[in-house]
Amino acid sequence: MTQRKRTTLGHVPQRKRTTLRELAESVGVHTSTVSRVMNPKTRHLIGDDVVDKVLSTAIQLNFSANRNAATLRTNCSCIIGVVLPDIANQVFPPILRGIEDELAKKGFIPLIANAEGGTERQRFVIDQMVGRQVDGLILATSGRDDPILEHCLEVGIPVVVVNRSEDSGRASCVVSDNQLAMLQAVTHLVKIGHTAIAHVAGPSDLSTGYERRLGFLDAIREKGLKKTQCPVAESKAFSRDEGCAACDMLLELHPGITSIVAANDLLALGCYDSIRARGLRCPQDISVVGHNDMPLMDSVAPPMTTVRIPLYEMGVRAAILMLENLDGGTKANVNIVLRPELVVRESTIAR
């Protein structure tokens, strides 16, 4: 009988970490020079050739700065907390990429957390981040009257709100122009002959739902459309299922509508589902306009006409505001409004 050799999984020895003094000796500079290079806020004080040599040698020697000690010494962790309401929503990757790219220019990194599940979960996530000494928070979760924002301000941590705004003006915000976006969508439908235009709205406790609904109502008024022919159904969440449910209600109560403007692309996809389930066709029977231009909206069937938001730029601007706040370069809260763009595809046709 052949006996198998037993292998035991034991402790795998890790490569010894190089100290600051050892790195300085390898490069031939003083330890204070290495410290300045490793601190993004003082790196500019050192010549580029020395910076390049220190950084490349640090990689070769497996050097990693002790961030806990550095945080105590400089009162800066170089970490920004980013809190999302739904990490699976495709709106957020471009925003996150913009945040990460901009933070990296100053040697900062994002700490990302999903806070789906209500106020209690959001507060837990934020308290955990504050406990890990993040330098600031970028919130994509903020409601119009948000107790979580109040909690952050009480803690005394810098906050920037992205993709949403809040009513109090207590934090800087980076948003898209929701009013203009709705006007673009309604104008497009009116130009191709639609007069019975419905709106699937987002939740009114969120700025994106509330402002887009107001923008839709303003747009139909500006275009001289009858409010009775342009009904609104509010969804409970920005989700495909909720979009389907809201569209079902609209089609049941208002069978004469010929087009729908949805408050985001997920709601619009839900409208696709509802229209299809009733044996109708988009766009032949009902045209649909989305909002956000999430990735792959040009690949759904039919490719979606939607309002494109500059998501990457939104993330970049949020990071810039945060870094300016930390540098003391901005005192007052700032509200940055980015311009959207209507992208016409195949989900809308003339009547």
Is 66 part of a structural domain of the chain? no
Domain count, the chain: 2
Is 319 part of a structural domain of the chain? yes
Looking at residue 131, its pLDDT comes to 84
Q: Do 215 and 302 belong together in one domain?
A: yes
Measured distance CA(138)–CA(280) in Å, rounded: 42
CB 191 within 8 A of CB 159: no
CB 232 within 8 A of CB 213: yes
CB 262 within 8 A of CB 243: yes
Which mean pLDDT values do the consecutive 10-residue runs of the chain (351 residues) have?
47 60 88 79 82 83 60 67 89 95 92 84 86 90 75 85 82 94 98 98 92 97 96 96 98 96 98 98 98 95 97 97 84 88 98 90
Q: Per residue in 224-261, pLDDT tens?
A: 999 999 999 999 999 999 999 999 999 999 999 999 99
Q: Do 209 and 154 belong together in one domain?
A: no
Q: Do 319 and 271 belong together in one domain?
A: no
Q: Do 186 and 285 belong together in one domain?
A: yes
Q: Do 163 and 87 belong together in one domain?
A: yes
Q: Do 170 and 210 belong together in one domain?
A: no
For residue 300, give both structure tokens. Answer: 């759904």
Q: Do 153 and 238 belong together in one domain?
A: no
Is 3 part of a structural domain of the chain? no
CA angle 101/107/112 to nearest 5° reads: 60
Looking at residue 9, its pLDDT comes to 44
Q: Per residue in 62-73, pLDDT tens?
A: 776 655 444 444
Is 199 part of a structural domain of the chain? yes
Residue ranges making up the domain that contains 320: 79-176+311-339
CB 350 within 8 A of CB 161: no
Q: Do 154 and 99 belong together in one domain?
A: yes
Is 142 part of a structural domain of the chain? yes
Q: Do 303 and 182 belong together in one domain?
A: yes
Report the CATH number at residue 258: 3.40.50.2300
Measured distance CA(146)–CA(48) in Å, rounded: 45
Is 53 part of a structural domain of the chain? no
Is 315 part of a structural domain of the chain? yes
Looking at residue 41, its pLDDT comes to 65
CA angle 212/318/168 to nearest 5° reads: 55
Measured distance CA(24)–CA(100) in Å, rounded: 29
Three-state SS at 197: strand
Is 13 part of a structural domain of the chain? no
Looking at residue 121, its pLDDT comes to 83
Q: Do 134 and 234 belong together in one domain?
A: no
Concatenated DSSP letters for 81-141?
Answer: EEEES-TT-TTHHHHHHHHHHHHHTTT-EEEEEE--S-HHHHHHHHHHHHHTT-SEEEES-
Concatenated DSSP letters for 71-95?
Answer: HHHHS---EEEEEES-TT-TTHHHH
Q: Do 237 and 170 belong together in one domain?
A: no
Measured distance CA(348)–CA(224) in Å, rounded: 21
Looking at residue 331, its pLDDT comes to 62
Alpha-helical regions (H) of the chain: 20-27, 31-38, 48-60, 67-74, 92-104, 119-131, 147-155, 178-191, 207-222, 240-253, 265-277, 311-327
Q: Do 182 and 303 belong together in one domain?
A: yes
Q: Edge-to-edge strand order for the sheet containing 172-176?
A: 109-114, 79-84, 136-139, 159-162, 172-176, 335-338
